[in-house]
Amino acid sequence: MTTGRGWWLLLFVRSNCGNFFMKTRGAPASDLKPPLPLHPLVFVSDSGPVFDFEDLLRASAKVLGNGTFGRTYKSDMDNGITVVVKELKLVSLSEAEFKRHMELVQNIRHENIVELRAYIYSKDKKLMLYDHYNKGSVSSLLHGRTGKKRANLDWETRKRIALGVARGIAHIHTQRGAMLVHGNIKASNIFLDSQQYGCVSDFGLTNMISKTFIETTQYHAPEVKNTQNVSQASDVYNYGMLLLELLTRKSPKPFDIFMWVDSIKHRGCTAKVFDVDLLKNPAIEDQMVKMLQIGIMCVARAPDKRPKMSAVLKTIEDISKMNIWEKPELFFDDLNCGFELEDLLKSSAMLLGRGTFGTSYKVTSYDDDVVVKIMKLPNFAHKELWQRIELIRKLSHENIVKLKDYSCSKNEQFLVYDYDKLGSISRLLYRPHGT
């Protein structure tokens, strides 16, 4: 919806009742003789094209959408400059507190974090101004805008989106003594730069709004839905949801995308998870499977079982560097696979038996039990072992036990299968009478 010229002027003019936001729209600026606003534009960045407060007042505006933190507008100025203006709601900070938040946002700079250009503070209105990304959000590219078709997003672009976002989040997590979080990572807050890398917007907004007003969505981690406390672990969960959305081209909004992906994965039909447009190129399947595994690890139900963003970034970078015909030698290095080998020695693990190729344990992992086989294969070259396990992983038949996961680092190798409560045929035939 385009509101016409003079609209920004109406946003700042005091009415006789003392309100800043007037419902009248479209009146020409020349018909109005307002007093100057009490709180003009405050620039926090010297990059980008130059404009002033008068340019903004004369600009036309178009509503882009309503989000968690307020309504967002696209503002087109007479001098050809376009900015995005976010009108914040539910923010009740003093001017000094608001300024401190703006300084924090200003100081966290990175090429994959959308930069704050300026802000306006008044008692009734708080606005934040950003550069406009003309390609739109990742959400609109994946799912289409109203009246428009979905964009053609190839695998290379989706990898760049995932990599850029991972870099942005990882940078946030290292700042201020590794105490900062984003709190609202989702596809509608991700934009593409000129090289198609994902850039994270809305950083710093979560801390300005009372927890009681935060609306949780399918993007949010289970603990956030219960307590509304965001953390770096919940950022990782959000990122995992974004990866699943990039891979499947399904929005988490209408249903639980993770439960859907997990159900298909457990049936051994991993290919059915992916967007059909991606499946047209079979050469990229291995990369997509690796990305899917990262996404699933990121959305682990328990926060302490999710990998650190730095580890996720390293793995995404490794995948991004791969030639489509190249297979990675390491995947689970530095990532938390739901449990560590040392966990097998704790009470949650039960020894099942020792065999020719290694020792098997029953391990409780989240909601189900799995069998973990720690292998002893000293004579295998690491790359050869990885290639053989990949071959096993791709086998799919109703009478062959499906390989669920694996670790193939140089220091440890183990396979993960679903646990069958009935046990082996040997156990059924020869178990002691009465057991």
Predicted local confidence at residue 338, as pLDDT: 45
Residue showing tokens 């020695």: 345
pLDDT at 18: 36
CA distances from 238 to 9, 216, 244, 299 (A): 37, 12, 10, 8
C-alpha torsion 71→77→83→87, nearest 10? -20
Q: Residue 75 gets which letter from DSSP? A: E
1-5 contacts: CB < 8 A, separation 24 or more? Answer: 1/62, 1/63, 2/60, 2/61, 2/62, 3/60, 3/61, 3/62, 3/63, 4/60, 5/29, 5/58, 5/59, 5/60
Question: 199: which residues sit within 8 A by CB, 6+ positions away?
Answer: 111, 112, 113, 114, 133, 164, 165, 168, 190, 191, 192, 193
Domain at 7-131, CATH from 3.40.50.300, 1.20.210.10, 3.30.1330.20, 3.30.200.20 = 3.30.200.20
The pLDDT value recorded for residue 359 is 78
**Residue 395's pLDDT is what?**
80
Reading the chain (435 residues) residue by residue, the pLDDT tens digits are 555 555 554 555 433 333 333 333 444 444 433 344 445 788 887 776 677 777 777 777 788 888 777 788 888 888 788 888 888 877 778 888 888 888 888 889 999 999 988 888 887 788 888 888 888 899 999 988 655 677 789 999 999 999 999 999 999 999 988 899 999 899 999 999 999 999 999 898 887 775 555 565 677 888 887 777 899 999 999 999 999 999 999 887 766 776 777 666 655 566 678 898 898 887 888 889 889 889 989 998 899 999 999 999 999 998 888 765 555 443 433 444 444 445 444 435 667 777 777 777 777 654 567 787 877 665 555 566 667 777 877 787 888 888 877 766 555 677 888 787 777 777 677 665 555
List residues forming the annotated binding site: 86
Give the Cα separation of 81 and 100 in Å (integer).
27
What is the widest separation between alpha-carbon atoms in the chain?
97
Burial label, 57 (beta-carbon count in 10 A; 0-12, 13-18, 19+): buried
Homologous superfamily of the 341-430 domain (CATH)? Phosphorylase Kinase; domain 1 (3.30.200.20)
What is the b/e burial string over 28-41, where b = at least 16 CB atoms within 10 angstroms of the residue's CB? Answer: ebeeeeeeebebbb
The CATH class of 138-321 is: mainly alpha
Whole-number pLDDT of residue 355: 73
Binding residues for ATP: 86
User: 78-98 b/e with 16+ CB inside 10 Å = b?
Assistant: eeebbbbbbbbeebebeeeeb
Residue 93 confidence (pLDDT): 81
Q: Write down the domain spans for the chain.
A: 7-131, 138-321, 341-430
Do 138-321 and 341-430 share a fold?
Answer: no
